[in-house]
Chain A
Amino acid sequence: MAPGSQRQTELLRGVLDLCLLAVMDEGPAYGYEMTKRLRERGLSAVGEGSIYPLLGRLEREGFVETYRAASKGGPPRKYYRPSSAGRIALALGVSEWRAARVAIDAVLDGVKVEVAS
């Protein structure tokens, strides 16, 4: 069985694209900003694998639009925001995630967790 941190990484891997689309849907963001937004919500394992290849894939598949703009006092950054296709994919992905979560909860809710002290 996978250790806790490894399982968290694997779980996140399956939905990280949705999470990225969700945080950039709150407002255009560049790479580091997105990881900050995710970390603020407790997703600290984002670094395991890095977001850059995933952002590249989202861009290639037309799920995000990009543009360059000056950041606060820094060099111009590449900002990402969901395209219309990305918003549709996000909505579909969220409904899939919720359906999966309900089904998994139905299985796991019956498990009594006892932590030995």
Chain B
Amino acid sequence: MSEFVEQCRREWRRLGVPDPLADEMAADLASDLEDAEAEGVSIEEYLGSSAPDPRSLASSWASERGIVATPHGTAGSRRPRALVAFTALAAIVVMVAALLLATGEPKVTLTAARRTPPHLPVPSVHPTVPVGIGHQVQAAAAAPVEWILLVLALGALGFAAWLWSRWHRSRPSLALPKT
């Protein structure tokens, strides 16, 4: 058995490929390499860019057959988990902020605390705004937290959508349609 096939076998053993399957793949590969050699085709010609990297060939072969987990599986699945958590958090914040805005109570406002000397009159932080003749409403000078949360969460959701689209594009596509 050639050194190339031996290195493949070592990689399959390291990956935990069951012996019968490793034997089968090794025998097929060895026979094909012998055929190629008999016809004057070198390993480099036959395997191309895989020729100098038997471990990579063995790994991708086993993972494509579904015998072992894909080498990129760990990184590939970690990112969606983080993305799912991020997206869920942003969605929850959007819902909470929308709920608070819809109910109107309790109205949370960001108020700037300001120390005022006791002998001075406290200025009004809620200036009056005239609305029509004889009517006045109080307007909060500070920005409501709900609106800030809503805007930030919507931005986060948009960012999450962009990350999802990038992740989706980076996944290897199947060349054949599922039937």
Answer yes or no: are A and B bound together in one complex. yes
The answer to whether the Cβ of A75 comes within 8 Å of any Cβ in the partner chain is yes
Q: Given known contacts A77-B31, A78-B28, is B48 in contact with A56 (CB within 8 Å)?
A: no
Question: Whole-angstrom distance between the alpha carbons of A77 and B174 in the complex?
Answer: 27
Q: Which residues of A contact B74 (CB under 8 A)?
A: none
Q: Given known contacts A31-B32, A57-B65, A77-B31, is B179 in contact with A50 (CB within 8 Å)?
A: no
Q: Given known contacts A49-B48, A77-B31, is B175 in contact with A17 (CB within 8 Å)?
A: yes
Q: Are B31 and A74 touching (Cβ within 8 A)? A: yes
Q: Given known contacts A47-B47, A50-B48, A52-B29, is B64 in contact with A57 (CB within 8 Å)?
A: yes
Per DSSP, chain A at the interface is helix
The answer to whether the Cβ of B99 comes within 8 Å of any Cβ in the partner chain is no
Interface centre among A14, A49, A58 (most CB of B within 10 A): A49
**Which A residues, 1 to 42, have Cβ-Cβ distances below 8 Å to chain B?**
14-18, 30-32, 35
Q: Which bracket fits the contact residues of A?
A: 35 or more
The answer to whether the Cβ of A112 comes within 8 Å of any Cβ in the partner chain is no
Q: Are A31 and B50 touching (Cβ within 8 A)? A: no
Pull 8 A–B residue pairs with CB atoms less than 8 Å apart, ordered by A. A47-B47, A49-B50, A50-B48, A50-B50, A53-B57, A78-B24, A88-B179, A89-B179
